[in-house]
Amino acid sequence: MRHHFSMASKLVTLLFLLHFLPLKSYCSTQQSWIKAGYYYSGSETVISDINSKLFTHLLCAFAYINSSNYHLSINSSTEQKFFTFTNTVKLKNPLVTTLLSVWVGREDSPIFFSMINQSSFRNSFIQSSIESARFYGFHGIDLCGVLPSKSSDMTNLDTLLNEWRIAVVSEAKNSSKSELLLVMSGHYLPALDSVSYPIESMMKNLDWVHVKAYDYYVPRINNFTYTHAALFDPMNGANTDSGIKEWKRRGFLLSKLVLGLPYHGYAWTLLDPNNNAMGAPAIGPAVTADGSMGYKFIKSFLRSFPSEPVYNATYVVNFCTIGPTWVNYDDVEAVKAKVSYAKQSGLLGFNVFQVGNDDNWVLSRAAQGEDDDQHNKSHRLLIILPTAVAVVLLLSSIICYLQSRVIKSRCCIDSVKRLLYKVRIKILDAEDLNGNASNLQVFSYSAINAATNNFSSENKLGEGGYGPVYKGKLRNGQEIAVKRLSRTSNQGLEEFKNEVTLTARLQHVNLVRLLGYCTEREENMLIYEYMPNRSLDLCLFDPSRCSLLDWGKRVDIIEGVTQGLLYLQEYSNFIIVHRDLKASNILLDNEMTPKISDFGMARIFGKDEHEANTGRIVGTYGYVPPEYVKKGIYSMKYDVYSFGVLLLQIISGKRNTRYYGTHDNLNLLDYAYELWKEGRGFEFIDPSLDDSCSYYKLLRCMQVALLCVQENPVDRPSMLEVSSMLKNETGAINNPKKPAFSIQRDENEEGKCPLQEKMCSVDDATISQVVPR
């Protein structure tokens, strides 16, 4: 019996590890970066109400520059808040760091630029800022609102930052105190009208720069609806991703950038309530004088109406239409996506504006990867765990005693583990999975863990929106690929069930084969056949591997993807819209046969259905058509659009997330169209495909691809027509108009083919004829 109690104690230890180790590792990772927030002293938020445990740094705003002596001044009506700020927020979080924020933007910018123009004025400001920070008990100073203006002003800013850092270092040395932090808020672009911030000085003298990644479009200025804080923008509007890339291009270290997160949104009044898509005409602000609304106000406002907000994953924004009012803002999904982007991009952290706009700290918890359930998990465990441990101990000892009479102790342990597993985890819709995926194998966690060498980093193949993918090898020697749902993923149970139930029904040589799944230990893992040549994007964009893709191989891939889509749209029992066709989702086996993968976002249509609408906008930047981005409408033409983008990438070897052209201002589609229209399509083709015999066939692929990416889905061909055009069964094809998301001016698209006449009437440009047989 002593032996059985020993085994039970091991199981209890196992339960402790399963529950607590993830919590420990999670907390440790969260401490490694900046979680900052502005507190606006003019707001009604009480300082003691701030949940400072959710932040590493808090900035008290604002102090101002006195125009007569250039000393810092604080409004008498709010000065008491500055006196008590640090001590108050430290009651809940003794480790929080506080900063005094100095406003120098908009109407105060002339005072600031006048100050930095003279040495004596700068010295007066610097000494006053240090003295004020110490006097009010802050640990650092923030310079907020500076925009790149004249070159001479930026030269003076360079000088100010150098002198400021020297003074801060000297003051700390003489006072034996820690150095004050020096930080600054920056425009989302480091240069405006060819005038740039002093990048080198900012990197050398500032602890970090927080990028103001919001207020790109506001209703008091723009007479059309648009997201004010887009992370991405396929229409090439102002967006955070392009700004971050520009900071990097100009040499600023991303590890010293902090991403600004807005806790506010804007409301527009629509010109026509029936036209409420992104970019719809508007006649000015709604709800408030300038249209601005704090997140707390927005949530309260929306609760009064039946309309459901929509999350758009392409722009990473939430929006809602209520009659003539169009509101856009960042909710939990958007905040999580932006924080994930900041981590993946190697930024230093995030900085929210402003903490008082949060609603019960929902956004702040989301920003650090918590929701309310996770926040209270440890408290619930402390209540439940003692009882659970006693029950587990008793149950384990009884079962072990009984089982020891008929089986060996090893079997006893396995039986107890299985019993505990059945009690402990939730089986997600098991009947539904078994009924629709009876031909799939249900893998145990231990089998997958062993196959992937405990999910080791050496076995990791990559990571996508669902989570990391690992290479594995089963005991029978079969190689597998394991896709494991990440805890921070925006995808989840719906995508997992969709992949399992849908993929089990589909069988085609150009579709990846799902072998099975695993749901033990609250995991949602998908197990696929392993593809030795990985994904198409690795071959296309890796200089060391692109040589594998000669024209013959690319033709095979184009034809294989075409056949896979034809099966989904025409030849299966249902019409399947994939909704995430892209280069990374085209896998290549050992013979370079393409296989479409990742059906987590796919949707089934009946044979008599043509289109559908969704309130949850998902997909991958650069592959999503405009009607889906703007209105959530999707149909078979969605995948045709994605195929067009993919086809352009295959023939050019170019990424669709970069800009091209003489001024680096054209996206991939615009660049292809411009060259095709000017009869310079050969400049678009991948230089490694130097084959005069296939030149016209490549240009025909280019023309077909441009037809697939037309703005209006009606102007796009079906996949049957695409297949026919690529095989040239019908001869001449239409000339494309400008592509979707184009920044080029409208022109008369009708007329003669811009390429030579023989380009429009080539009879032998069939993919079938150039495939090596």
In angstroms, the CA 14 to CA 393 distance is: 12
| Maximum C-alpha span of the chain | 93
Question: What is the pLDDT, as a whole number, of residue 651?
Answer: 94
Note the pLDDT tens digit of each residue in 505-541.
Answer: 788 999 998 899 999 988 999 999 999 999 999 899 8
Question: Which domains, ranges and CATH numbers included, belong to the chain?
Answer: 1-32+372-424 (no CATH), 35-264+330-371 (3.20.20.80), 426-530 (3.30.200.20), 541-770 (1.10.510.10)
Q: CA-CA distance, 701 to 558, in Å (whole number)?
A: 9
Instruction: Work out whether strand 97-103 and strand 57-65 pair parallel, antiparallel, or are unpaired.
Output: parallel
What is the rounded radius of gyration, in angstroms, for the C-alpha atoms of the chain?
A: 30
Q: Report in angstroms the alpha-carbon separations of 182 from 122, 126, 286, 501, 517.
A: 15, 11, 38, 54, 51
Name the more confident of 674 and 731.
Answer: 674
Kindly report the pTM of this predicted structure: 0.63
Closest C-alpha among 200, 215, 214, 117 to residue 165? 200
Q: How far is CA 370 from CA 51, 299, 320, 330, 738, in A?
A: 14, 19, 25, 16, 44
Give residues with Cβ within 8 angstroms of 117, minimum separation 6: 153, 156
Q: Is 615 exposed, middle or buried (0-12, 13-18, 19+ CB in 10 A)?
A: exposed
Q: Quick one: the chain helix, strand, coil %, rounded to 5?
A: 45, 20, 40
Indicate the pLDDT class of residue 437, thresholds 50, 70 and 90: low
d(CA 302, CA 308): 8
CA distance 160 to 661: 38
Tallying the residues shown for the chain, one arrives at 773
Nearest to 527 by CA among 490, 567, 585, 485: 485
Mean pLDDT over 75-100 rounds to: 95
Q: What is the token pair recorded at 575?
A: 């019409």
Catalytic residues: 580
Each as own residue / partner, the long-range contacts of residues 5-10 (CB below 8 Å, 24 or more positions apart, any chain) are 5/393, 5/397, 7/396, 7/400, 7/409, 7/412, 7/413, 7/416, 8/392, 8/393, 8/396, 8/397, 8/400, 8/416, 9/393
In this predicted model, what pLDDT tens digit does every residue of 397-423 receive, in sequence order?
666 555 555 444 444 444 444 444 343
Query: pLDDT tens digits, residue range 637-678?
Result: 999 999 999 999 999 999 988 889 888 778 999 999 999 999
